[in-house]
């Protein structure tokens, strides 16, 4: 189910740490090499911190050297949405959770095969869930 989740600003502030709120609700970016997942190699799924939506899989994660967790494809196109972002004097494509509209990061056209895409995400927007068994 990809039913939209909407919460008031006050609810998000209560549910998230100030750092998580800054990134996911205000479109902030964590400092590179600061997050818990940029060099993390566990096998499993990365879910949206805000709503638990399945977003990315460890099989599509790669070491981009940027200091942010990077993936070449989402679990499905339906789990994310993209939007044009012209902030900070750059034209970029913002990546958001389709279910709760949390800001996740940006996608760039310089990733590895097979997609050639690099989804550059914030650890603060994600929650890793390891594979069972």
Containing 45, the helix (H) or strand (E) segment is strand 44-48
Residue in 120, 106, 88, 104 with CA at minimum distance from that of residue 54: 104
Number of residues that bind Zn ion (CB under 5 A): 8
The residues pairing with 71 across neighbouring beta strands, listed in sequence order, are 61, 119
Can you name the residues that pair with 105 across neighbouring β-strands? 95, 121
Which one of 39-47, 49-57, 65-73, 83-91 is the stretch in contact with Zn ion (CB under 5 A)?
49-57
Does position 97 interact with Zn ion (CB under 5 A)? The reply is yes
User: Is 99 near Zn ion (CB under 5 A)?
Assistant: yes
Nearest distance from residue 98's CB to Zn ion, in Å?
Answer: 8
Tell me, rounded to whole angstroms, the distance of Cα 110 from its chain centroid.
17
Name the one range near Zn ion by CB under 5 A: 29-37, 50-58, 72-80, 104-112: 50-58
Stretch near Zn ion under the rule CB under 5 A, chosen from 16-24, 30-38, 90-98, 106-114: 90-98
100 binds Zn ion (CB under 5 A): yes
Straight-line distance from the first to the last Cα atom of the chain, in angstroms, rounded to the nearest whole number: 25
Concerning whether 51 is annotated as a catalytic residue, the answer is no
Q: Is 104 in the site for Zn ion (CB under 5 A)?
A: no
Q: According to the binding rule CB under 5 A, does residue 75 interact with Zn ion? A: no
With b for 16 or more beta-carbon neighbours within 10 A and e for fewer, the 80-117 pattern comes to: bebeebeeeeeebebbbbbbbbbbbbbbbeebeeeeeb
16 contributes a contact to Zn ion by CB under 5 A: no
Q: Return residues touching Zn ion (CB under 5 A).
A: 48, 50-51, 53, 97, 99-100, 102
**Residues with catalytic function:** 120
């Amino acid at each position: 189910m990809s039913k939209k989740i909407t919460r008031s600003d006050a609810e998000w502030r209560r549910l998230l740490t100030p750092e998580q709120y800054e990134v996911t609700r205000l479109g902030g970016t964590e400092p590179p090499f600061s997050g818990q997942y940029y060099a993390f190699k566990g096998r499993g799924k990365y879910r949206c911190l805000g709503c638990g939506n399945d977003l990315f899989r460890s099989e599509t994660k790669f070491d981009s050297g940027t200091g942010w967790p990077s993936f070449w494809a989402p679990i499905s196109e339906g789990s994310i949405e993209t939007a044009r972002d012209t902030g900070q004097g750059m034209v970029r494509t913002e990546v958001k959770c389709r279910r709760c509209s949390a800001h996740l990061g940006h996608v760039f056209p310089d990733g590895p095969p097979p997609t050639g895409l690099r989804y550059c995400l914030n650890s603060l927007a994600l929650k890793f869930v390891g594979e069972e068994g």
